[in-house]
Structure 1
Amino acid sequence: MSFDETPLEVNGINNNPLESMIPTHGVVPDVERHHQRPRVERKSKFHHLWILLLLSFPMSSLAYMIFVPNFLYNVPNHRCKLANESNTNESFTNNSVMWNQTVQMDPQCQRLANTTKNPIGSVETEGCLDGWQYSKDMGVTVVTEFDLVCDDAWKRPTIQCIFMIGLMIGSLLGGTLSDRFGRRVVLLSSFLGGGLLLLILSFSHNYWCFVAVIFFLGAIHILTYSSIFIMAQESVPEHQRALAALGINFSFGIGFLYVPLAGYFIKDWRWLLRIVSIARCAYFPLLALLLKESPMWLDQTRRKSQVVSSDRKQLNKKLSEAEVEDITALKMLKTSLLCSNSVLRNRLLMACFLWNVTFLCFYTLSLNSANLGGNIYINCVFGALVDMASYLCMFLLLRKTGRRNSLSLCIFISGAFCLLTPPLRPLNETVGVAASMIGRFFVTTSMSIAILFTGEMFPTLLRNTSVGIASMSARIGSALSPYLIFSGEMIDLAIPFYVMGILAIIGSFFTLILPETSNAPLPDTLKDALALNKYRLDIIRRRKSWFAKT
């Protein structure tokens, strides 16, 4: 009998005859397994706090890289440069006023052609053959250095899209690498590698070199993020997982606060990258010295390596070689179970959709600070404070209403305010911006809950893989977000808000299908993960039972 021929489940119930013959995990009986699980809880509260503090700076540095594009890719006021014109800010202001008063055209992408030979009353225009003159208020950005305006304006959202594609590739590989080699190894290597890539990126001499490096930076970035989050989740007891998520997310919000501070004092995009690169490389020795491997990962890896010998011993060597191979394959929880098991597959598909919706909304609202009007630095500070407040809201909601209901409620409210923003903005710009910020508040809360929720629905040896797959799929929404913003700038500012609102409301209803995981132990095995179905809504369980009978 081969593993592929063994019926794993019917209607979410495990029917493999071999599994009923052996203890869970194929290593230790349930009594021993439940005795080992509280091992994390025996650590002191100081130990748990120390882990979170140690992971706080790596998480902050990741947030910095997510939000610094508000300044890296900022498009300052600009116009066509005149022949033999100086690059002073005064020259930019005086000539732009003169051009707007003289002719009716777009001085950002057009200029008069050979004006001394044109007859009176005729106007001929041409492109910016001598380049562009930029306002110096924002300093030197990637846009001003590589002239990503007018016909090349499409290159600006493409940079962010390439970064998101890098995140997608990293998500595909990161979960498997972390499950195989450990959270600590992947975290340390990706943290240092990301710091070095940032330094290389700061020396990019043209657009295509910049894009190539940003792709690899995105792949490294998500490896660090997923390892940090999973390590924090697995290093604390189950009743403190929401608190651990709050601490990690607050570190993310603090990293956002670094962005306007750095952008205010540093007016060169190269040094905006170098400063965080230097900080990461300096922090690496401390992180490598003090950070220990996740105890849950170590425990599960030890059990997996002992599966054959333990099964033989506990079954008094009554099984044949073929049966032992079947048990081994079943118990090692291969990634293929995420596709072959209908319960895990449906959960993963739903998680992927929810991650796509929340990440699309989050990045669209977060990277749109420059288009909200007012001071970009103040907008970024308010955005960071809104995000941090949303993390606190997440913590309180999770304690009162659980994961599923909190996620559904927050996504719905976010979608509603996104739909309200376009009609409110013409009436009062401040009210429109406030509605947008409220939508951002709840979508940030939703994203944080979705990340935590996903990891709690899958067994230990598939947990980081499932989070990695969901994160990978979310990069589709993330990659579309800069183009969604771009479509709003080119066509109608209302387009992004209507798209986000509709998708968010649909996602809020789909969330109700998932099981509640609040205060439930993290599932160790496939059996534990399937048992979570008893925490689904009663109406969902009754409907499933009715279909099974018919």
Structure 2
Amino acid sequence: MAKDEINDKPFDLDVILKQLGPFGKYNIVNYALLLFPIYLAGMYSSIYVFEASDIDYRCEITQCEVINESLWLEYAIPRDKNDLSKCKRYQFTGNYSQSNVTCTQKDFEVVVEQCDKYVYSDEDSAVKDFDLGCQNWKRTLIGTIHNSGLFVSLPLTGMLSDRFGRKVALPIASLMNGIFGITRSFSTNYYMMIAMEFLEASLGAGAYSTAFVLAMEIVGPKGRVFGNTLINVLYVFGSMTLAGLAWWLQNWRKLLRILYFPALLVFSYLWILNESARWLLSKGRHEEAVEILKKASNMNKVHISDDSLSSLFKLGTEDPKSKEVANNEGKTESSFLQALKSSIIRKRVAVCSFLWITCTFVYYGLSINSVSLAGNKYMNFMLVAFVEIPANFVCLYVLEKFGRKRTLTSTYLLSACFCVSLSLIRKDQKWLSLVIYLSGKFSITVAYSSVYIYVSEVFPTNVRQSLLAVCSALGRVGSTLAPLTPLLALYYDNLPAIFFASITVVASALVFTLPETINVPLPDTIEEAERQSKKEDNA
């Protein structure tokens, strides 16, 4: 763009951000601050996997426990898949007395009954602390309760951020993380634990989205792709750190206290973090925005002309423009309703929501079920998380090379194929099953990253944010149901993988109903969005 064109163009903050450069000293310092809560969010998002991990336990046979040798276990407990059953026992019919303890085969009838007490292994878990033996629904419900808190945290933190600022919303959300996360480590019963789980997620999970938005707002367009990649990588490192610390500590209460204490430190951002200049301008606080931009130019050693900075004030002093903004705000609701009157837009909302649900369901489901793979559960979790790093880089390449539709269709189908393959592999082929499992996670990660971009390209500008929020909110249904998928393995070991494969095949087919958007200008109106589909039909 020529210099004269910039000067003649109405004020655009991106012009000044472009002058500041994509990643100068100011951006680096602020990104370093913002990447810290994002790193923490990577740990908090899946911490329930290690809080209430499934451990070994068996029925307590009161009459026989005082006997040191365990040969009597074969007579007392039936076999389930070649292992001693966790939840069933044979009925004891012997004559029991403390002075003459005998536990032989003749003391048990071949009558199976449910256990009422359990003997737990030395492994640490909330399952042991709260006596959750054979109540797998209670164990998996912890993760579901955590993810259901996202339905509250996203709109709540969004409203707080839009009204009071990003640098206010982020520290408060992080403070809630720290308070309720540490309090949860002192839980005295199961119900206190799930209550703290919900409060921590519903009041604190928005720290990630706030940090993400602020990170995107402090750089220009060219810096956002690189910034987004940094955020994804730090989030993955957080997940890997979680598994490493859980492996080292082997104590879920200590794990919570160590991981959540740093969240309290983020509260200091109220005084040390710079507010988003874009948000300040949207609120008419032009002088504060100018001071921040001047600070950024000094740190980056870049000169910003006074004319560029003075144009910021013109935006707020011109009454017609202020009225125009007010009018636009008044039209938001009507534009949203008008968009939903279009059958094409409604169909896209439904399809995109299903694509989002599929991604979150399979993405989190594979992460959660990774601890059930043969081998070291902590190492498996770290590997499943690490594979997301190359997946995000591959996503950037294939989207531009092959387009959105082919990328999504292929990655959904690949994920389905890898998941089905897991059911065809013998249990003794541990490495092969791990490689295929990682390949499935790789594929769904590429699809997940692609959906974020694709969904934003098929809706018109005036309702893009609103419809994107609808799809994202509905997508949380997948992450809320994902923690329950280990229950499917109780009926058949590979049932979760088969379930993942089925839903991804459906998603792959639905992609064909959407238009291709590579190298296509973003639609600004409902009519332009509808023409995307018409061009696709005529092609």
2:20 match: 43
Query: Which amino acid is the alignment partner of residue 45 of structure 2?
Result: I
TM-score (norm. length: structure 1): 0.77
Query: Which amino acid is the alignment partner of residue 100 of structure 1?
Result: E
Q: Judging changes above 3 Å, is the alpha-carbon distance between structure 1 residues 346 and 36 closer, same or farther for their aligned structure 2 residues? A: farther
Matched, 1:79 2:61: no
d(CA) in 2 for partners of 1:356, 1:82: 45
Q: Judging changes above 3 Å, is the alpha-carbon distance between structure 1 residues 67 and 328 closer, same or farther for their aligned structure 2 residues? A: closer
Q: Judging changes above 3 Å, is the alpha-carbon distance between structure 1 residues 367 and 331 closer, same or farther for their aligned structure 2 residues? A: same
CA positional deviation for 1:311: 5.5
CA positional deviation for 1:509: 4.4
Q: Judging changes above 3 Å, is the alpha-carbon distance between structure 1 residues 214 and 82 closer, same or farther for their aligned structure 2 residues? A: same
CA positional deviation for 1:369: 1.6
Matched, 1:219 2:202: yes
SS of residue in 2 equivalent to 1:219:
helix
Pairing 1:346-425 to 2, within 5 Å after superposition: 347-398=348-399, 400-401=401-402, 405-425=406-426
Is contact 2:75–2:90 with CA below 8 Å preserved after alignment?
Answer: no
2:109 match: 122
Query: Which amino acid is the alignment partner of residue 130 of structure 2?
Result: F
1:55 match: 34
Q: Judging changes above 3 Å, is the alpha-carbon distance between structure 1 residues 120 and 382 closer, same or farther for their aligned structure 2 residues? A: closer
Matched, 1:293 2:271: no
2:242 match: 259
Is contact 2:177–2:205 with CA below 8 Å preserved after alignment?
Answer: no
d(CA) in 2 for partners of 1:347, 1:297: 30
Higher relative CO (Cα under 8 Å, sequence separation at least 6) belongs to 1
d(CA) in 2 for partners of 1:187, 1:415: 37
Is contact 1:182–1:293 with CA below 8 Å preserved after alignment?
Answer: yes
Q: Judging changes above 3 Å, is the alpha-carbon distance between structure 1 residues 55 and 113 closer, same or farther for their aligned structure 2 residues? A: same
1:66 match: 45
CA positional deviation for 1:201: 1.2
SS of residue in 2 equivalent to 1:293:
coil
CA positional deviation for 1:486: 0.9
Is contact 2:345–2:530 with CA below 8 Å preserved after alignment?
Answer: no
TM-score (norm. length: structure 2): 0.78
Matched, 1:133 2:123: no
2:260 match: 277
SS of residue in 2 equivalent to 1:79:
strand
SS of residue in 2 equivalent to 1:42:
helix
CA positional deviation for 1:360: 0.2
d(CA) in 1 for partners of 2:418, 2:147: 26
Q: Judging changes above 3 Å, is the alpha-carbon distance between structure 1 residues 351 and 375 closer, same or farther for their aligned structure 2 residues? A: same
Is contact 1:368–1:485 with CA below 8 Å preserved after alignment?
Answer: yes
Q: Percent identity?
A: 24
2:294 match: none
CA positional deviation for 1:353: 2.0
d(CA) in 2 for partners of 1:480, 1:146: 23
Pairing 1:156-175 to 2, within 5 Å after superposition: 156-175=139-158
Matched, 1:542 2:535: yes
Matched, 1:148 2:132: yes
CA positional deviation for 1:463: 6.5
Total equivalences in the alignment: 489
SS of residue in 1 equivalent to 2:119:
strand
d(CA) in 2 for partners of 1:530, 1:239: 28
Q: Judging changes above 3 Å, is the alpha-carbon distance between structure 1 residues 375 and 120 closer, same or farther for their aligned structure 2 residues? A: closer
When structure 1 is superposed on structure 2, of 361-370 and 388-397 the one drifting more is: 388-397
Is contact 1:69–1:367 with CA below 8 Å preserved after alignment?
Answer: no
2:306 match: none
CA positional deviation for 1:410: 2.7
CA positional deviation for 1:261: 1.6
d(CA) in 2 for partners of 1:181, 1:260: 35
Is contact 1:179–1:461 with CA below 8 Å preserved after alignment?
Answer: no
Query: Which amino acid is the alignment partner of residue 133 of structure 1?
Result: V
2:493 match: 493
Is contact 2:94–2:107 with CA below 8 Å preserved after alignment?
Answer: no
Q: Judging changes above 3 Å, is the alpha-carbon distance between structure 1 residues 81 and 103 closer, same or farther for their aligned structure 2 residues? A: closer
Q: Judging changes above 3 Å, is the alpha-carbon distance between structure 1 residues 455 and 332 closer, same or farther for their aligned structure 2 residues? A: farther
SS of residue in 1 equivalent to 2:149:
helix
CA positional deviation for 1:60: 1.6
Pairing 1:4-15 to 2, within 5 Å after superposition: none
Write the deviation string for residues 199-248 of structure 1: whole angstroms up to 9, x where unpaired: 11111111111111211222234312222222223332223322211100
CA positional deviation for 1:82: 3.9
Is contact 1:175–1:464 with CA below 8 Å preserved after alignment?
Answer: no
When structure 1 is superposed on structure 2, of 155-164 and 455-464 the one drifting more is: 455-464
Query: Which amino acid is the alignment partner of residue 447 of structure 2?
Result: S
Is contact 2:177–2:200 with CA below 8 Å preserved after alignment?
Answer: yes
1:508 match: 508
Write the deviation string for residues 459-481 of structure 1: whole angstroms up to 9, x where unpaired: 89977655543332122111221
1:23 match: none
Q: Judging changes above 3 Å, is the alpha-carbon distance between structure 1 residues 258 and 427 closer, same or farther for their aligned structure 2 residues? A: closer
Is contact 1:198–1:274 with CA below 8 Å preserved after alignment?
Answer: yes
2:485 match: 484
SS of residue in 2 equivalent to 1:83:
coil
**RMSD over equivalenced CA pairs, Å:** 3.8
Which runs of 5 or more structure 2 residues have no equivalent in the other structure?
1-5, 97-105, 287-312
d(CA) in 2 for partners of 1:224, 1:463: 23
d(CA) in 2 for partners of 1:290, 1:346: 45
Which runs of 5 or more structure 1 residues have no equivalent in the other structure?
1-28, 315-323
Is contact 1:172–1:468 with CA below 8 Å preserved after alignment?
Answer: no
Matched, 1:248 2:218: no
Query: Which amino acid is the alignment partner of residue 241 of structure 1?
Result: R
d(CA) in 2 for partners of 1:480, 1:194: 22
Query: Which amino acid is the alignment partner of residue 277 of structure 2?
Result: P
When structure 1 is superposed on structure 2, of 399-408 and 221-230 the one drifting more is: 399-408
Query: Which amino acid is the alignment partner of residue 392 of structure 1?
Result: F
SS of residue in 2 equivalent to 1:122:
strand
Return the match for 2:74 from 100, 108, 113: 100
d(CA) in 1 for partners of 2:530, 2:457: 14
